[in-house]
Chain A
Amino acid sequence: MASKKNININLKIWRQKNGKAKGQLVDYKLDNVSTDSSFLEMLDQLNEQLVSQKQEPIAFDHDCREGICGMCSLYINGRAHGPDTGITTCQLHMRMFKDGDTIYVEPWRSRAFPIIKDLVVDRSSFDRIQQAGGFVSVNTSGRTIDANAIPVPKDDADKAFEAAACIGCGACVATCKNGSAMLFVGAKVSQYALLPQGKVEATQRVLNMVRQMDEEGFGNCTNTGACEIECPKGISLENIARMNREYLKASIK
């Protein structure tokens, strides 16, 4: 960690005009970056510098900037969401870097996450997986029973909650050497499979979500465990094992 309050850094950032254009890493120099600023604030600072120089600012995804929306991405110095663990890029601080560092900033790389512009990728494949089965069908006529009326064992509720912490940022896919989405799908399958409300549609859910995952062109899990380490929400590999169990159960039914 740098003891100096402000640092000067070199950046190598992926610039790509649109999905079809050929992209490349472009070098930037940014001085006077506060170590208290977040990584996204540093990019804001760089964009201001670019705008004042009449250059096109760098496009990157961001929204809540408090680590909960799953919008920010970025593959920073070879790691999803940068060198810290258990955080999103908006929670990454410049104090993790030293004065004079060269920082690589690349978009998520996956066939299922096509680049829209610069560092922005299209993660709608996750939405389509979710739409394939990541829900519980309820009658909304007004006679719906209260969810808390169904008893749920504390242990199951906790595990379901941990799985539901997934914010769908795509760091698991980005960091996986196979570009596999199994941690994401495992979390979504587990979140419902653990609860009595979700058990009703469990068979179709896992089959449909896995089918959609395969159709989107994600790779296959080889249990390297990289996703679990890079996941900002600490989603456990246990969720992939549960999905494997659910899929086996559903397949032989």
Chain B
Amino acid sequence: MAKSALLKSSIAKKYWMALTGLFLCLFLTGHLLGNLQLIFSDAKHFNEYALFMTSNPAVKILSYLTYISILFHAIDGLMLAAQNKAARPVGYAKTNPSANSSFASRNMAVLGTVILIFIVTHMVNFWAKMHFDKNMPLAQQESMQMPGQMEFIGVPGSRVPSIPAQGKSLHEIVDEVNKQAMAQAQAMGEKNLEKAKKFEVEGSDAIKDLKKGEIIFKGYKDLYKITIDFFKQPKYGLLFTLLYAASMIVLAFHLLHGFQSAFQSLGVTSRKITPAIKFFGTAFAIVVPALFAAIPVYIHFFLK
């Protein structure tokens, strides 16, 4: 791009919209396949998948690329929309836009803004909880050795594969063990009781051995439960399910124009491939959002 500005030229902006848009279509496909495990798999596998997606280094690179793409697509898109508005300072008194263009193609900026708002609320509801919530629940299951007792499920590689839960949080269990150790030390006449502490909670999902300084237990964060509870909550579950489905309809319209438009912007057109791109784009724009929407609908109305 020696002779032209990488970002300033009108056509270069179109390339960036197309490239980030198509990358986000790939992201949607991956995200959908992950989400479908909520229906077609079980809590254990879904939580294992959630841990993989938040800890694998390759996934981390992909996720940063996704954040950048979303931001760039949104900022570039809003800049283009502002420029396009400025290109016609005085509007027409009478217009007849449906005579020559589709609804989706005329409203990409509005549809995109709605999707951006959805992404922000979606990330607050799920992504931020998974990443930052100190009180994120850990996955539990019934103990194999002691039926009727609950235990936290540990990640392979933890020195202890599972620890007894009995309806307590990780903090409560560690506090209890430390209290016993401290009481023992006090009985022995120890002065510095802090030194007697055995464990501490690391982050929100792990126990650290203070003597050896290493993680002895790491549990699965229960994203499955968070998701199911979110859409099944008595007061707002139905509202959230409907809002989610409505957002997917908006996404469908955005994709209906956006997918094939990206190829036109990149100049990837020909008599042979353009009909195929248009067909695939339409199918993608209908199937992907429909499957996304089907998941909360299934959870709210059908999941026992």
List residues of chain A with CB under 8 Å of any chain B CB. Answer: 12, 14, 25, 75, 77-79, 104, 106, 109-112, 175, 177-180, 182, 207, 210-211, 213-214, 217-226, 229-230, 237-238, 240-248, 250-253
Contacts and interface: CB of A to CB of B under 8 A. Distances in A.
B13 interface: yes
Contact of B87 (A104, A217, A238, A251): A217
Interface stretch (B34-42, B265-273, B292-300): B265-273
A195 B40 CA distance: 57
B98 to A, nearest CB: 10
B84 A220 contact: yes
Contacts of B266: 244, 248
B88 A207 contact: no
A37 to B, nearest CB: 22
A109 B11 contact: no
A75 B102 CA distance: 20
B275 to A, nearest CB: 13
B90 A238 contact: no
Given A104-B93, A178-B87, A213 B106 contact: no
Contacts, number: 141
26 contacts: A111-B86, A175-B100, A178-B88, A179-B84, A179-B88, A180-B87, A210-B4, A210-B10, A217-B86, A219-B83, A219-B86, A220-B84, A221-B10, A223-B261, A225-B102, A240-B264, A241-B269, A243-B11, A244-B11, A244-B15, A244-B264, A245-B267, A247-B9, A247-B12, A250-B4, A251-B1
A230 B100 contact: yes
A252 B97 contact: no
Contacts of B88: 109-111, 178-179, 219
Interface size class of B (residues with CB under 8 A): 35 or more
Given A244-B265, A244-B267, A220 B14 contact: yes
Contact of A226 (B11, B80, B101): B101
B16 to A, nearest CB: 12
B100 A225 contact: yes
Nearest to B108: A222
B264 A241 contact: yes
B83 A222 contact: no
Contacts of A214: 8-10
Given A218-B87, A219-B87, A222-B80, 15 more contacts: A79-B99, A111-B86, A111-B89, A182-B10, A207-B4, A220-B83, A221-B265, A222-B261, A224-B100, A224-B102, A225-B100, A229-B100, A241-B268, A244-B265, A251-B12
A246 B106 CA distance: 26
Given A110-B88, A220-B13, A244-B266, A79 B96 contact: yes
Nearest to A236: B269
B105 interface: yes
B3 interface: yes
B191 interface: no
Contact of A222 (B91, B105, B269): B105
Contacts of B99: 78-79, 229
Interface of A is mostly: mixed
A219 to B, nearest CB: 3
Given A217-B87, A224-B101, A77 B96 contact: yes
A193 B189 CA distance: 93
Nearest to A237: B264
A78 B10 contact: no
B12 A112 contact: no
B94 interface: yes
B145 interface: no
B56 interface: no
Contacts of A252: 1
Nearest to B80: A220
Contacts of B90: 109
B95 interface: yes
B100 to A, nearest CB: 4
Contacts of A225: 100-102, 105
A211 B94 contact: no
B80 to A, nearest CB: 5
Given A25-B93, A219-B88, A248 B15 contact: yes
B197 interface: no
B257 interface: yes
B14 A244 contact: yes
Nearest to A241: B269
Contact of A110 (B2, B14, B87, B102): B87
Given A210-B11, A222-B84, A12 B93 contact: yes
B269 A177 contact: no
B163 to A, nearest CB: 56
